[in-house]
Amino acid sequence: MINKLNWYDYDEGYSVGTSGSDGGLIVRDEEHGFGARVTLEEDGSSAPFSITCTIYGWMSHARFFPDEDEANREFDEMKTDLERILSIVPADEADADEETLDEISDEISEFVERFP
């Protein structure tokens, strides 16, 4: 279950209405306190709606959608999986042993497969 307290408006909501990484208008933009961001854009260069999600220092992934309802559903679903990945990422990468790094890598690969 996602902890909504850990997700908050990125840049206190000031990014909404500005241009996103796909050149569209940002309509939703949330950040997680442990180091992730999910951005939903409308009318970008690649599709009517796009989502870019990032785990700072680990991955960035973009997805594209034909309609807003699907994009919003996926936005919320992706946050749940991102939070699960964040739960295994150490606060300091130097604290991660080889097994933890492999687990994070596997989780990120599964995330990208689940959300192509």
Q: What is the pLDDT of residue 91?
A: 83
Which tokens hold the place of 26? 């940002």
The CB-side HSE value for 26 (13 A sphere, CA atoms) comes to 20
Q: What is the pLDDT of residue 94?
A: 79
Q: CA-to-CA distance for 62 and 23, rounded, in angstroms?
A: 13
Q: What is the pLDDT of residue 100?
A: 92
Q: What is the pLDDT of residue 103?
A: 95
Q: What is the pLDDT of residue 4?
A: 56
- Per-residue b/e over 33-72, b at no fewer than 16 CB within 10 Å? eeebbbbbbbebeebebbbbbbbeebbebbbebeeeeebb
Give the count of beta carbons closer than 10 Å to the beta carbon of residue 12: 8
Q: 34 with 6: CB under 8 angstroms? A: yes
Which tokens hold the place of 68? 């807003």
Which tokens hold the place of 75? 């936005």
Q: What is the pLDDT of residue 3?
A: 56
Q: What is the pLDDT of residue 96?
A: 84
- Torsion angle of the four alpha carbons 76, 30, 39, 79, in this order, in degrees rounded to the nearest 10: -30
Give pLDDT tens digits along the chain (116 positions): 455 569 999 999 999 999 999 999 999 999 999 999 999 999 999 999 999 999 999 999 999 999 999 999 999 999 999 999 999 998 887 788 999 999 999 999 999 999 99
